[in-house]
């Protein structure tokens, strides 16, 4: 199994401000790139709880960190991190939480996972291959309206209705079960060619986000991460597209304003109780990092600190 070069490594370490005896959560551990650099800063009393939905990543992580007593590996969704922290007695005690959203390079690189139109494989796209419906399952019977909405909202696909119609027409002849089959249906349906983007890019992104409930999981996880942190604890989130970044940005800003009141209710600034303090503006990879690791290209890191009660 190939490795995964962590995105924005120096910025993440600075964002988390790793304390040797702190408890940290790596919510999207992947191949353990970020986990590894966090562990390098942790002392013997420090703890790192790591999550991933992908059974292959979990097998890899268990192996990689098998001899490190500071690491706890969980095959679970980060959307369940609150329950995890209560179960492990670290609720409100966590020093830092990291999310590095989306899919990992090894997932894209394996045709068998169905994430990429560049490799032929079964149209799966689930992070958690042990449960849930695959992309092929969804495409088998989703109504045209639903497919259109998913492509429009999660892929920002201009030709969403056209592509959805083409999918419905194609599946009337044969079920759509392979990535290259879907790629060709989409390419034939889109009349316009972008210079550096394959026409199926948006459709594949949309279906992946939909099948894995990515935006719902993120929206559910952020308040749990905030509740899990101790005062002074850091929250760091790396997003790869505008839909997830918008959720993160809005959540962090709302918590930093402490603005939980109806907008028409007059409140004094001192009555607002911000729960987070934003740490700097959004951060992006340098040109040197992008040259070294092209996957970092669209990464955006946002960081906030829990305010003492």
Ligand X SMILES: C[S@@+](CC[C@H](N)C(=O)[O-])C[C@H]1O[C@@H](n2cnc3c(N)ncnc32)[C@H](O)[C@@H]1O
- Tell me how far, at minimum, the Cβ of 147 lies from ligand X, in Å: 22
Residue number, 76 or 227, with CB nearest to ligand X: 76
- Long-range contacts at 243-248 (CB < 8 A, ≥ 24 apart): 243/154, 243/156, 243/209, 243/215, 244/101, 244/102, 244/214, 244/215, 244/218, 245/282, 245/300, 245/302, 247/215, 247/218, 247/219, 247/222, 248/218, 248/222, 248/302
Q: Which of 102, 114, 121, 285 binds ligand X (CB under 6 A)?
A: 102
Nearer to ligand X, 179 or 217 (CB): 217
Q: How many CB atoms lie within 10 A of CB 131?
A: 8
Q: Does 104 bind ligand X (CB under 6 A)?
A: yes
Is-contact 31 106, C-beta < 8 A?
yes
Report, in Å, the least distance between residue 80 CB and ligand X. 8
Tell me how far, at minimum, the Cβ of 57 lies from ligand X, in Å.
5
Return the number of the residue (73 or 150) whose C-beta is nearest ligand X: 73
Which positions from 126 to 165 touch ligand X by CB under 6 A, shown as an x/- string? -x--------------------------------------
| Residue pointed to by tokens 């759509």 | 176
Binding mask 37-66 for ligand X (x = CB under 6 A): --------------xxxx--x---------
CB of 129 vs ligand X, minimal distance in Å: 10
Return the range that interacts with ligand X (CB under 6 A); candidates 14-22, 96-104, 144-152, 161-169. Answer: 96-104
| Beta-carbon contacts of residue 150 (< 8 Å; ≥ 6 apart) | 142, 206, 207, 210
User: How many whole angstroms separate alpha carbon 114 and alpha carbon 150?
Assistant: 18
Task: Return the sign of the alpha-carbon dihedral for residues 26, 8, 249, 256.
Answer: positive
Q: Please report how close the Cβ of residue 119 comes to ligand X at its closest, in angstroms.
A: 17
32 binds ligand X (CB under 6 A): yes
Q: How far apart are CA 101 and CA 65, in angstroms?
A: 21
Which segment (31-39, 198-206, 257-265, 300-308) binds ligand X by CB under 6 A?
31-39
Please tell me whether residue 255 binds ligand X under the rule CB under 6 A.
no
Q: Which long-range contacts (CB under 8 A, 24 or more apart) does 255-261 make?
A: 255/226, 255/304, 256/304
Q: In what order do the strands lie in the sheet with 300-306?
A: 71-75, 47-52, 23-26, 94-100, 229-239, 300-306, 276-278
Site string for ligand X, 199-238 (x = CB under 6 A): ------------------x---------------------
Minimal distance, residue 301 CB to ligand X, in Å: 12
**Nearer to ligand X by C-beta: 33 or 46?**
33
Nearest CB to ligand X, comparing residues 19 and 35: 35
34 binds ligand X (CB under 6 A): yes
List helix spans (H) across the chain: 9-16, 33-41, 55-64, 81-87, 105-109, 135-141, 144-155, 160-173, 179-189, 201-211, 214-228, 242-257, 287-292
Q: Which residues of the chain form contacts with ligand X (CB under 6 A)? A: 4, 6, 27-34, 51-54, 57, 77-79, 100, 102-104, 127, 217
């Amino acid at each position: 199994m190939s490795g995964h070069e962590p995105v924005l490594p120096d910025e993440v370490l600075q964002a988390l401000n790793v304390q040797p005896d702190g408890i940290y959560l790596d919510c999207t551990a992947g191949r353990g790139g970020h986990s590894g650099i966090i562990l390098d800063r942790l002392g013997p009393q420090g703890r790192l709880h790591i999550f991933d939905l992908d059974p292959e990543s979990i097998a890899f992580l268990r192996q990689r960190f098998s001899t490190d007593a500071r690491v706890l590996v969980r095959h679970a969704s980060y959307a369940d991190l609150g329950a995890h922290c209560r179960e492990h007695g670290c609720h409100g005690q966590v020093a830092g939480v990291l999310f590095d959203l989306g899919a990992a390079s090894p997932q894209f690189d394996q045709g068998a996972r169905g994430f990429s139109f560049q490799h032929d494989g079964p149209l799966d796209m689930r992070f958690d291959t042990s449960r849930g419906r695959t992309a092929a399952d969804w495409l088998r019977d989703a109504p045209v309206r639903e497919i259109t909405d998913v492509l429009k909202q999660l892929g920002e696909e201009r030709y969403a209705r056209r592509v959805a119609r083409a999918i419905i027409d194609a599946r009337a002849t044969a079920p759509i079960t392979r990535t290259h089959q879907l790629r060709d249906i989409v390419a034939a349906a889109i009349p316009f060619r972008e210079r550096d983007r394959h026409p199926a890019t948006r459709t594949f992104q949309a279906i992946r986000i939909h099948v894995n409930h990515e935006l719902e999981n993120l929206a559910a996880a952020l308040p749990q991460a905030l509740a899990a942190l101790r005062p002074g604890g850091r929250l760091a989130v790396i997003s790869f597209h505008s839909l997830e970044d918008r959720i993160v940005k809005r959540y962090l800003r709302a918590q930093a304003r402490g603005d939980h009141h109806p907008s028409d209710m007059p409140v004094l600034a001192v009555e607002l109780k911000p729960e987070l303090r934003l740490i700097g503006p959004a951060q992006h990879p340098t040109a040197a990092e992008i040259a070294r690791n092209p996957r970092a290209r669209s990464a955006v890191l946002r960081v906030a600190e829990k305010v003492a009660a």
